[in-house]
Amino acid sequence: MRKVPRDEFLPWQLRELAYEDTPLAIAAEQTISQPYIVALMADALLLKGGERVLEIGTGSGYAAAILAEIAGEVYSVERIGQLAEKAAATLAALGYDNVHVQHGDGSQGCPEHAPYDAIIVAAGGPRIPKSLQLQLKVGGRLVIPVGTEVLAQELIRVTRVSTTEFRREDLEDVRFVPLLGKEGWEPEAEPSFQSRLRVVRPSEQVLSRIIATAAEP
C-alpha cells in the first residue's frame, strides 16, 4: 500500500484527498474504493506472491497496482472503455508491466487466461457468477461483494475445494457500485445506486479551498 501512489489514479482536482480513507469519484460516475476496502479485499485473497490474479472492475487501476505488487500477473477487465484506456495508460506510466487491462463484460470473467489463483471483483452482484467460480484453480479464492439489494452487499470469499465443490465465507458488510453484465445486474440498476452513493466529487469545495478563500496571504 505504501508503494502505490494513489494520487496518480485520481482526477487532479481530488489529488489533495488521495490519502484520506474514503472512496472518491473518478470518470463515468464510478469510484475509486477507499484504501481500507482495497487492503481488506487484497488480504482476503491470501496471496503469497507470484500468482495469476483476475480483477473485475479496473476502475482507475489503483487496486490493480496494489495486486501487482504481490502477484505475478494481473488480468483486469473493465466494462467502461474510457476507464479501461485511462487505467492502462496510468499503470503503464508507473511501470506496472505485469498488469493487463482489457475492455469487456467482467461478470463473465476472462476465460482466455484462466485458470486463476485468485479473482477479485470490485462491484456488487446479485449472485456469485458461475463463470468466475469455474475460472478458479482448485484451491483458488474468489472475493466478491454479493447482495440482492443494489445498495448493500456482503463481502464473500469463495474457495474452490475441488472441481465440483466450493466453500463460501462471509467477511464484511460493504457497499459497491453494481456489477453490470450478463451474470450481474441489468444496466437499469445503476442509476438508483449512483443517486444515493455519497462520494466526494471534483466539483465540490474541499476544506483546503475553503481555507484558502477565507485566509489572508
Q: 101 with 61: CB under 8 angstroms? A: yes
60 a catalytic residue? no
Provide the strand spans (E) within 88-160.
Answer: 99-103, 116-121, 136-149, 152-160
Between the alpha carbon of residue 198 and those of residues 61, 68, 195, the distances in Å are: 21, 29, 8
Q: Any idea which residue has 483458488 for its cell?
A: 140
Active-site residue among 33, 60, 76, 107? Answer: 33
| Cα 101 from Cα 104, distance rounded (Å) | 10
Helix ranges (H only) for the chain are: 35-44, 62-68, 81-93, 130-134, 189-194, 207-214
Residues labelled catalytic: 33
